[in-house]
Amino acid sequence: MHINLKNNNILIVGAANGLGLNLLDEFLKEGSNVIAIDNNKSLLKMLEKKYFKQLNNKLFLYFIDVRKILEIKKFSNTFSKKFKKLDSLIFCAKSNLDKKKNTQQCWNEIMDVSIKAPMLFIENLKLSIIKSKTSIINIGSTNSSFVSHQPLAYHVAKSGLNQLTKYYANNLGKYSVRVNVVEPGLIKTKKIKKKISNLNKILIPLGNPAEFKQVFDLIFFLSSEKSSYITGEIIRVDGGVTTSDHPNLVNKIIKNKI
């Protein structure tokens, strides 16, 4: 299936590291125009140096603290004046999960970034979104349904993000705006040690953590007209790990003597 995203305007919120950074690079390779937002000045400076030839031509960088309503409103006004369309809005900003913060501080931080911010971007960019028939893609987590080592607020926020997505899919659908969630499972990085890697071969039905490209492919598809009748969906890219219940996972570990 050929997907053409050349000259599409792609807004990535949380674009300076992790999945967002990899998405930025891949969309640029596809010939898209990338509007990148992040609140890390040093990382944005690195992006300026790395992509200096594409800066303010194919890549547009903005320093914004997504926890601050006025900064989002200011950006939205700037966007509507500078860009004629918004083909895709991808929200993958994440909180700095500081283990030293207490539950209440952690709660406020994560809720502001993971729930309030995507709502504010959609509300403040709504005219552009409706006019452009934008595809909105929120990056969620399998922790929306399953408990892990992450803080309480993270689990609640990711569940809330799914419902926020369904709400906007329902209310903006009449304008041909599509809103979906992509829930990546474990993604292969340099941090995955050999022992953990061996364990994942047993626990993940497809045998390995996802490559970034396997997540990109779904996001590219949802960004394109090829997915024009898909909205309100929560789509997992986890290799099937969430198809097993806990007793089954324990049995696999015991069987393989790990």
> What span, in angstroms and rounded, lies between the C-alpha atoms of 91 and 11?
8
List the structure tokens of 241. 């790990």
- Residue 51 annotated in active site: no
Distances, alpha carbon 170 to alpha carbons 11, 54, 228, in Å: 22, 37, 15
Which residue among 51, 62, 154, 168 is the active-site one? 154
List the structure tokens of 232. 């309100």
Nearest to 92 by CA among 176, 210, 215: 215
Distances, alpha carbon 85 to alpha carbons 32, 133, 235, in Å: 12, 9, 26
Strand partners, 182: 139, 235
Nearest to 86 by CA among 130, 46, 53: 130
Active site residues: 154
